[in-house]
Amino acid sequence: MIVGIDLGTTNSLIGYFNKDRVEIIPNRLGDNLTPSVVSVDDEGTVYVGKTAKERMQTHPDQTASVFKRSMGTKKNFKLGDRDFSAEELSCLVLKYLKEDAEEYLGQEIKEAVISVPAYFNDAQRKATKKAGELAGFLVERIVSEPTAAAIAYGLNQKDADTKFLVFDLGGGTFDVSILELFGNIMEVRAVAGDNYLGGEDFTQVIEQMFLNEHNIEIGFVDEKTRVHIRRQAELAKIELSENKKAVMSCKIDEETLEYTITQKDFEEACQILLTKIKRPIERSLRDANIKINDIDEVVLVGGATKLPIVRKFVSKIFGRLPNVDINPDEVVVVGAATQAAMKERNEAVREVILTDVCPFTLGTEVSRTREDGTEESGHYHPIIERNSVIPISRKDKFYTARDRQDKVRVDVLQGESRHAKDNLYLGEVVVPVPIGPKGAECVEVTYTYDVNSILEVEVLVVSTQEKKRIIIKNEEIDLTDEEIDARFEALAELKIHPRDQEANKLVILRGERLYEEATGDTRMSIEERLTSFECVLDKYDKDNIEKAREELEKFLNYIETNMD
């Protein structure tokens, strides 16, 4: 069986195709959504999801979130005395999902289709693939989130010659994709986006409004208080999704500070973010050579699209109500699982041919002749333009730039800047050329980019017919089998918290957080209830434990409601 996974910035999901529909697999707590949060305690026990998110309130120094934004980079996250890359933290989330899915289905799962933002570059896509492999999955296919969403909405069932725009605003990334249907061929016409824009930024706006209201400098606030303020800002944002105003209440230095925010105030404060959202929309339409009126349907994807200000903004731009027939939080995993069923040749799924595009321009560094006749290096020369339909192969000719040049180096770059240094370096090919005057020798450079984001670069010296070819795999990310095994063993030493103890640990962590937030008699009551529950746990009576946990949860619900 092949499963589909939405590895999200804020939440992750896993699903499979069951008979004639996709079924989302609940985690060990019975939830479809698993927060993309990882925490590690002093003993090396790993907590993932809701439990880790709760633990973040009391142990922020041992917990990490929003690490998807750092995929494909060298950034490390320090959890206690251990360092993790974003790739390794994502691996732990994937291992958690894999374990729950295998428990639920009663069989081993070896392969997965994992979704990524359409605007992820080469390094980010490879990091996602490696995270899956470190978690024990075979990952032969990566699917773009907007394409997965289009499949989930059944857009491939629509009439031919239909154009769709998928607006994907998740917790940490933003994508716009324009797709067009021709018979059973679904073609991505253009993608644009921002890998550092999402629901987290809207939460940050509310957080900053609260800080400004009370003249608080965030730099002078300790880490626990900072996490507490962010949590209350997140709750206020959720409240604004359903009501016209929300009250944010934070306890700082034994003083309770409140702030009332209205949808109108929130919308005004988010104007910079809304402007940032508009730019990729305009860019994708321009790249696809399509006008707004040519779009037949607008589809919303991602949890942040639940915000009324976002839906209002999208409706205003396109002059119509967007399609929200499927839960925006779940639509991507539905599409990824459907794509997995297509890969398995499941007869219940209508086969659709998907064509994708290269999200970023691929090119090389060149020298250009200035007006005074001197050569200036450092210029970027595009070979495969962004939003070119893949697979694609493009060839260009280049000439030696100086006298007595004996070799040519082709730097392989990815990006949109006219300055070579500002684009992403992917690798290089160096070929020897006969020594001669400037411009005497010519090399033909061929870039071939396939559907699996693999770039092949071939350089041919025309005069000697000597040829060199490499496959760009990004050395920072791509690992040998031995390195994968070594890192897998290192991660395996970390103890994932036992499935049957997850709910118990979650309620204890919640109680500990409320204990820290409370004072006086309330604090003493929480302490007594937690101690009593821990005594029940020590007796290993499953029925009594479940009953005691339910009673503790009711008590904590009462405490939290009255504290707010």
Residues catalogued as catalytic: 6, 68, 145, 168
Nearest CA to 442 among 474, 418, 464, 458? 464
**For residues 86 and 349, what is the distance between their CA atoms, to the nearest angstrom?**
34
Bond prior to 391 in cis (omega within 30° of 0): yes
User: What H or E segment, with its residue span, contains residue 282?
Assistant: helix 271-288
Range 217-251 burial, b when 16+ CB lie within 10 A, else e: eeeebeebbebbbbbbbbbbbeebbeeeebebebb
Per DSSP, which regions of 103-219 are E strands? 111-116, 138-144, 162-169, 174-182, 185-194
Q: Is 455 helix (H, G, I), strand (E, B) or coil?
A: strand
Q: Is 475 helix (H, G, I), strand (E, B) or coil?
A: coil
**For residues 182 and 198, what is the distance between their CA atoms, to the nearest angstrom?**
32
- Determine contact, residues 122/414, Cβ cutoff 8 Å: yes
Task: State the pairing for strand pair 2-7/111-116.
Answer: parallel
For residue 265, the Cα-to-chain-centroid distance in whole angstroms is 29
Nearest CA to 177 among 185, 189, 186? 189
Task: State the pairing for strand pair 34-35/21-24.
Answer: unpaired
Query: Cβ atoms within 10 A of the Cβ of 432, count?
Result: 12
